Amino acid sequence: MVSPYPRLSRCAAAIGAALALLAAGCSGGGGASDDGRITLRFQSLAWQQDSVAANKQLVAEWNRTHPDVRVEYVQGSWDSVHDQLLTSFEGGEAPDIIHDASDDLADFAYGGDLAELGGLLPATLRDAIPGASWQTTTFGKGVYGVPFLQEPRMIIANRALLVKSGVRIPTADTPWTWEEFQQSAKKLTGNGTYGVAWPLKEPVSSTLNLSLSTGGQIFQRGADGKVTVRFDAADQAVPRAIHDMVDTDHSAARTTLGMGGSDTLPGFFGGKYAMVPLGFSYRQQIQQQAPKGFDWIVLPAPMGPDGNRAQGVSPQTLSVSEDCAHKKEAVRFIDFLLRTDNVVRLAKGDWMLPTATAALRDPALHTDRNGWSTGTALAPYLRSAPAQSVRGYPEWKDKVATPAFQEYYSGAIGLDELRHRLVTDGNRVLARYQR
Amino acid sequence: MIKRRAGRTGQYLALVGYLVFLGFPLLWLVSTAFKPPRELATLHPTWWPKHPTLDNFRQAFDEQPLLHAALNSLLVALSSAVIAVLLATPMAYVMARHRSRLSRAATGWVVVSQAFPFVLVIIPLFLILKRLHLINALPGLVMVYVVWTLPFALWMLTGYVRAVPRELEEAAAVDGAGRLRTLVSITAPLLAPGIVATGLFAFITAWNEFFFALVLLKTPEKQTMPIILTHFIGAEGVADLGPLAAAALLATLPSLLLFALIQRRIAGGMVAGAVKG
């Protein structure tokens, strides 16, 4: 009997051949070198073109100048880094040098997956970075990462609309107060333009971080070391301002509440929104995508009472895996990567601010072009994000705070209900982690 | 008559609507892949790029090892599909033809196993593969994909086997064909469309899979397309949209091409061919 599918048979034969090739060609990963040379895997989350290039150049430079310790560049992804690290740690296959954000480190640090770097860090590196930044990677009594890049939240504004409206244009030295910000947003609203677009798809971290300016802490650590949630007047000031802009003044576009930062840019470029609060690194997208001639300006975030300009940040960090057999060498590489000139290259590539004081003085970061100088001027006011070392924060954020803030900002619930949910439901969640 | 014509027009309209619905994401992907950055963030987006550019493709290729990743994906997906089909076909035959409590229980287990979430199995799987030295190795990933697709492939193929009339096999037996000859010469050719459909399912599942590949593959030279695509996404979901669309378009093409090549096999009538002779 002749097969009705002769071509299928040939196809199967070809696939069989491919399988044989696969079996021959793709056996397991690379092994250790025979000459005793140390190899370290560095997983970087750099993703912007210039940043990836800078990281790869620095790794190549290290490998050229340090023949005894070879560093292998491995590309990771922000989108999935937590899950990927979690399984890697469980399976004992984690990269030696780990790039992450400080707010992702707590569980790994407390879980014993990350090396305590306190005794390994050279004094020069320790001294280069201010204490407020080290706080973001200090869990318990140990330091579990080196904070090296940080990103304040700024207000990116359409300068032409600002000038036309006659509002005072704030500078890094003289930011708006929250009241002035609300009044300016009101003045800028009209003729199809909203004063501000709040992209609050993820409302919790922006709210908490900005609330430091009004003295809001939300998380209070008691004498017994246990953390509880509070939502007092100082904590309520920023959420109330945002809520009023959306629901009372209508100076903020309600539709943007469910958006991510990038989603608001078309409306911003089209003159639909006069201002958008965004992370500092968004400037790169704006510079790339803004229509020719679009005149934009970077403004500092509003300040609180008594000129308080504090803002919470979760810097990017470099850590070493506890399983790494060559921790000293790994820290030597981190030290190399974060030398002043190098960290400036990384900061420019990512459009972020370095944490190191000397690097912040680099002239390239003090130009008015693309708002660099405004951001650099804010660096001394950046603090550890309030949620930084709170165990159970991710669950509180996802199950309690995110829906509660979303409903409050959209006007579905009032301040009392928001308070009840954040505090009562929230403390129930945190208590489970602190028994 | 008028009623029937109106009904048919309605059917065609629904079909066109459905095709547009299905085709829109692909159309938008193609359009985005060729748009320069300034056309990506406008308040009134255009269907087609006003100033089409290949820069997104250039950037995507410059930044990430796309071709290498595509080759890895192809090897893994093809291998997974072939092995899953080779294993599932005889198993499906047994389950379809020899119905017993055991085969019914096996079918039930197959259906239940589809409900297992990835996170439930990933850590034990990781530890097993580590012991076998198959972490960061494409054969390890192939093993996982075969195990993961096998239940559904088995379930699909069982249905196809049941659709082959038992009388044909009995007729072959009466003509003197042995069991193996009957299976190879009578049943297998009639099952071909089902085998192709199952293989395609296994291929696409493996081609698109992200989570296992993320966890099991460590070094860039081993990574597959879905992992490489995430490298165009930054913190808080910010994306380098142009290069991402260009890379995603390239990632979509092999599945589309494969489907275009073999869709006639799937659509072809199988039992119809058997009774004609």
Each residue of A243-269: pLDDT tens digit? Answer: 999 999 999 999 999 999 999 999 999
Q: What is the 3-state secondary structure (H, E, C) of chain B?
A: CHHHHHHHHHHHHHHHHHHHHHHHHHHHHHHHHCCCHHHHCCCCCCCCCCCCCCHHHHHHHHHCCHHHHHHHHHHHHHHHHHHHHHHHHHHHHHHHHCCCHHHHHHHHHHHHHCCCCHHHHHHHHHHHHHHCCCCCCHHHHHHHHHHHHHHHHHHHHHHHHHHCCHHHHHHHHHCCCCHHHHHHHHHHHHHHHHHHHHHHHHHHHHHHCCHHHHHHCCCHHHCCHHHHHHCCECHHHCECHHHHHHHHHHHHHHHHHHHHHHHHHHHCCCHHHHHHC
Query: Does residue A11 carry a pLDDT above 70?
Result: no
The more confidently predicted of residues A338 and B192 is A338
Mean pLDDT of chain A: 90
Query: Residues 24..83 of A with a Cβ closer than 8 Å to B: which?
Result: 26-30, 41, 45, 47-49, 52, 72-75, 77-80, 83
* pLDDT reading at A381 higher than 70: yes
What is the pLDDT, as a whole number, of residue A435?
77
- A402–B contact, CB cutoff 8 A: no
Considering A371-380, B175-184, B234-243, the range whose residues carry the highest mean pLDDT is A371-380
Question: Tokens 């399983």 sit at which residue?
Answer: A323
pTM of the model: 0.82
User: Which pLDDT score, from 0 to 100, does residue A33 have?
Assistant: 56
Residue of A nearest to B238 (CA): A262
Q: Which of A344-353, A391-400, B50-59 has the lowest mean pLDDT?
A: A391-400
pLDDT, residue A19, reads 41
What pLDDT does residue B202 have? Answer: 92
Identify the residue with better confidence: B127 or B249. B249
Of B65, B251, B224, the closest CA to residue B145 belongs to B224
**Whole-number pLDDT of residue B152:** 86
Q: In this model, does residue A1 exceed pLDDT 70? A: no
Task: Give the residue-averaged pLDDT of B213-240.
Answer: 86
* A239 compared with A49, residue with greater pLDDT: A239
User: Given a cut of 60, is residue A205 above it in pLDDT?
Assistant: yes
Q: Closest Cα of chain B to A337: distance in Å?
A: 21
Chain A's closest residue to B237, CA to CA, is: A79
Contacts of A111 (CB under 8 A, 6+ apart): A89
Weakest-pLDDT range from A216-230, A306-320, A352-366, A419-433? A216-230
Indicate if the pLDDT at residue A363 is higher than 90.
yes
pLDDT at A21 (0 to 100): 40
Residues of chain B contacting residue A79, judged by C-beta atoms under 8 Å apart: 230, 233, 237
Residues 236-265 of B with CB under 8 A from A: 236-241, 265
- A252 - beta bridge partners? A196
**Per-residue pLDDT at A55:** 95
pLDDT of residue B266: 65
> For residue B268, what pLDDT is reported?
54
**What's chain B's average pLDDT?**
86
Residue range B92-145, pLDDT digits in tens? 888 888 878 887 787 787 778 777 777 777 778 888 888 888 888 999 999 999
With bands split at pLDDT 50, 70 and 90, how would you rate the model's confidence at A392?
Answer: confident
Residue of B nearest to A288 (CA): B37
Its sign, for the CA torsion A20, A26, A31, A35, is: positive
Query: Which range, A73-77, A153-157, B231-235, is most confident?
Result: A153-157
As a whole number of angstroms, the distance between CA A325 and CA B234 comes to: 30
Does position B273 have pLDDT exceeding 50, yes or no?
no
Q: What is the pLDDT of residue A295?
A: 96
pLDDT band at B267 (very low <50, low <70, confident <90, very high): low
Is the confidence at residue A159, as pLDDT, over 90? yes
Over residues B204-224, mean pLDDT: 89
Average pLDDT over residues B226-245: 88
- Ranking A14-28, A192-206, B170-184 by mean pLDDT, the lowest is A14-28
